[in-house]
Amino acid sequence: MNRTDSVDNGSPGGRLGGGRRPPTAVPPGERGAVRVADRVVAKIAAEAAREALGAPHPDSAPPFATVVIHPHSRPRSSGETPVETARVRVSLELPYPSDIGGQCAAVRRHVIERVGTLAGMHVSEVAVQVERLHLAHAHDAAQGRTR
């Protein structure tokens, strides 16, 4: 076909771009899918852990996350879109003394919420591993402060 050939696309002029028809809606079961990479979900989870913990201790390493993503689970109803499921492991360092259980619970809740919102995944498990505890007064003592 050369440049002068016309293509009938059903538009009034018979040429492409004449009077385009709006695309027809594609049923949910026939649409494409977005695949979010494991490493992207891990970065979302690590950032969510940082957000949940607030300001980090000066000597602590930032939270690190690993993720295992399971293929699409079956939808519960015919109109529901299948959802991937993620299992997340977050490693972090916490100040001591502090409410370690409360901080871990806050990290779990925030990781589930952020991964669900940003990646569109169901999080079946968040394992929080505390790798190191920092003495809160050790940093103050190193700077010559006393209480």
The residue-averaged pLDDT of 89-111 equals 94
Contact 49, 65 (CB under 8 A): yes
Would you kindly state where each structural domain of the chain is located, as residue ranges? 28-142
Each residue of 22-59: pLDDT tens digit? Answer: 778 887 777 777 788 899 999 999 999 999 998 877 77
- Give me the chain's average pLDDT, please: 79
The pLDDT of residue 88 is above 60: yes
CA separation for the pair 78, 81 (Å, rounded)? 8
5, burial (CB in 10 Å: exposed 0-12, middle 13-18, buried 19+): exposed
User: Would you state the CATH architecture of domain 28-142?
Assistant: 2-Layer Sandwich (3.30)
